[in-house]
Amino acid sequence: CMTKKPHCSYCREQELLLQPMAKQKNLDWQLAPAPESKDHFKLKEQYELFIGGKWVKPKSGKYFDTINPATEQKLARIAEANAADVDSAVKAARKAFEGPWGKMPASERAKYIFRIARLMQEKARELAVIETMDGGKAIRESRDIDIPLAAAHFFYYAGWADKIPYAFPGKQTSPLGVAGQVIPWNFPLLMASWKLAPALACGNTVVLKPAETTPLTALTLAEIIQEADLPEGVVNIVTGAGATGAAVVNHPDVNKVAFTGSTNVGKLIQRSTAGSGKKLTLELGGKAANIIFADATIDQAVEGIVNGIYFNQGHVCCAGSRLYVEEAVYDEVVRKLKHRMKSLVVGDPLDKNTDIGAINSKEQLGTINKYIKIGQEEGSDMYQPTCDLPGKGFWCRPTLFTNVAQSARISQEEIFGPVLAVQTFRTMDEVLQKANNTPYGLSAGVWTDKGSKIFNMTTKLRAGVIWANTFNKFDPTSPFGGYKESGYGREGGVHGLGTYLNLN
C-alpha cells in the first residue's frame, strides 16, 4: 500500500482477506476443517443399467470404475451399455410411450414429476455429497446450486405439464416419442434435470446417458424415480462412454436427440442425425466474454469474475473465461483480482470452506495444463497464487493471464478449467468486436452502472445468455442456449418445452 494510512480501503481489504489467506499460507491460525459428513448414505459397490424400471445387468458384460477425483479412490463399479443394451432401453421407452405414459392425462403426469422433485429435495444432502465425491466440485456448489436448481427444474416443468397448449396458442401440440439424451460431467444432476423434466412434462419417454466420469447422481435419480413409482420404461438410464452415447443418438427408433457436451462431439452428432428426421438440440462449448466498463462497481465485478471462472474449477460451459477491462480501470481490476485469488481456498471438495475443488479427471487436468503451457509460450504473463495443493487427486490453482493477444489460443479456445485471459479495450465498438470474435456464442457478461450501455451491449453481443452486473445465474424459467458453435435449441423456460413437441 502506498498510503500506509489506517483508513486506506486497500489495507482494509487485506485485513478482511487475512483469514482464508492464513489457511493457505500455513500461518499460526487457520480455518478449522469443516468436512461434510458422508455417513448418511451408502453407495452401492456396483450399479447396473436402469431399463424398464428395473436394474439389469449389461448384455456387454462389462463394467468400469468411477473414481473420486479428489482422492483417486474408486467409488463404485458401473455397467457399460453396448448397442444391444441401448436397444433394450429404447424398446422399454417406446413401450411406455405407447402404453401408460402416452395415455396418461397430463395432470397425472405432472404429479409424478412433482413427486420426483419432492424426493430430490428430501435427498438433497445425499445427492450433493455424491455429486461432490464423483465430480470433484466444492460441496458449497453442489449443495447450494446444483441440487436445488435440479429440483427446481422438476417443480417448474411439473407445473407446465397440463398447460402446454396454453404455451403455444393456435398450435396443435403432441409429444415427439422417445428422446435420447446425452449429458456431460460438469453439472451431472442438473444437466439430467434440464433434459428429463421438460421431456416428461411434454409426454415423451427417455433414454438418458450420463457422462462416464460422473454417473452416480443420475443413478441415484433412477432410485428416486423408482421410489416415485414412475411407470416402468418412462425413464431409462444407460451408463457408458462415447460408444454408448453414439448408440443412443444413432438408434433408429429415437425421435429426438438432446446433447450437451463438446462442440466436436456435437458436430459428429449433427452429421450422424442429418436426414434421419430426428429432432436435435445441441448445447455445446463456450468462451464467454466478461466485460468491465470503467463506471462499474469494481469490487462487485471482481467477485463476479471470480465466481464466473474459478468456482466449479472453471468447468462451466458458460464460464467467463475471457475478461475485457476498460483501460482506465485495468490496474485496479487486475490488482483486486490477484488479491481475491490469493484468498481462494483450493482443496478437499467436501470441506465447506473450499472454493475450488478437484479437476474432474486426469484427462481434463492434462488439457488445462496444456493450455497453461500454451499461454506461457504465447508470451502472456501468468499469475497463480501460491496455495498448497493436496498430494493425491487432480488439482489446478486459479490462473490468470494478462498481456493476452486477441489471437492467442488461450483467448480463442475453450479450456474448461480455472484459467482466465485478460485484455483491455477503449471503446464500446472495440470490445464488441473482440467479444464477438470467437467461434462460440454461449454467454457473456457486462458490468456497468449505465442501463443504456447494458441495453446497447446486450443487443449486439452474439451470445445466447447475457448477464448484467452478475454472472452464472440460472433459473428454470429462463431459456439457456447458444449461437454459432455453441449449438442451437434452448433449454429452460417455455422455450425448453417447444423442443420436445410436435407443433402443427
Which of 283, 326, 414, 491 is labelled catalytic?
Answer: 283
CB of 228 to ligand NAD, least distance (A): 24
482 binds ligand NAD (CB under 6 A): yes
Q: Is the dihedral of CA 165, 170, 174, 179 positive or negative?
A: negative
For residue 121, give every residue at least 6 positions away whose Cβ sits within 8 Å of its Cβ, in sequence order, or none.
151
CB-CB neighbours of 100 under 10 Å: 16
Contacts of 213 (CB under 8 A, 6+ apart): 66, 69, 134, 135, 185, 360, 361
Sheet strands side by side (includes 381-383) = 381-383, 399-402, 419-425, 322-326, 289-292, 443-447, 465-468
Stretch of residues binding ligand NAD (CB under 6 A), selected from 56-64, 148-156, 280-288, 296-304? 280-288
- What residues between 163 and 182 interact with ligand NAD by CB under 6 A? 182
Q: Which is nearer to ligand NAD, 132 or 448 (CB)?
A: 132
The minimum distance between CB 265 and ligand NAD, in angstroms, equals 3
254 vs 269, which CB is nearer to ligand NAD? 269
Nearer to ligand NAD, 240 or 385 (CB): 240
CB of 188 to ligand NAD, least distance (A): 10
Does 414 help bind ligand NAD (rule: CB under 6 A)? yes
User: Is residue 8 annotated as part of the catalytic site, yes or no?
Assistant: no
Which grid coordinates are listed for 18?
Answer: 487475512
Smaller CB separation from ligand NAD, 80 or 212: 212
> Which CB atom, from 184 or from 493, has the smaller least distance to ligand NAD?
184
CA distance 241 to 213: 9
Does 48 qualify as catalytic in the annotation? no
Pick from 67, 89, 284, 325 the residue near ligand NAD by CB under 6 A: 284
Assess 211 for contact with ligand NAD (CB under 6 A): yes
CA-atom Rg of the chain in angstroms: 23
Q: Which is nearer to ligand NAD, 241 or 494 (CB)?
A: 241
Asked if 184 is part of the footprint of ligand NAD (rule: CB under 6 A), the reply reads yes
Q: Which stretch binds ligand NAD (CB under 6 A): 91-99, 108-116, 229-237, 282-290?
A: 282-290
φ and ψ of 353, to 5 deg:
-85, -10
Does residue 260 touch ligand NAD according to CB under 6 A? yes
Per the DSSP assignment, residues forming a β-bridge with 256 are: 179, 279
Integer angstrom CA distances of residue 307 from 153, 302, 335, 355: 22, 9, 17, 9
**Per-residue cell: 199:** 421431456
Q: Kindly state the DSSP code that residue 174 receives in the 8-state scheme.
A: E
Distance CA(235)–CA(317), nearest Å, equals 26
Residues that bind ligand NAD (CB under 6 A): 182-186, 209, 211-212, 241-242, 245-246, 249, 260-262, 265, 268-269, 283-286, 317, 414, 416, 442, 482, 486-487
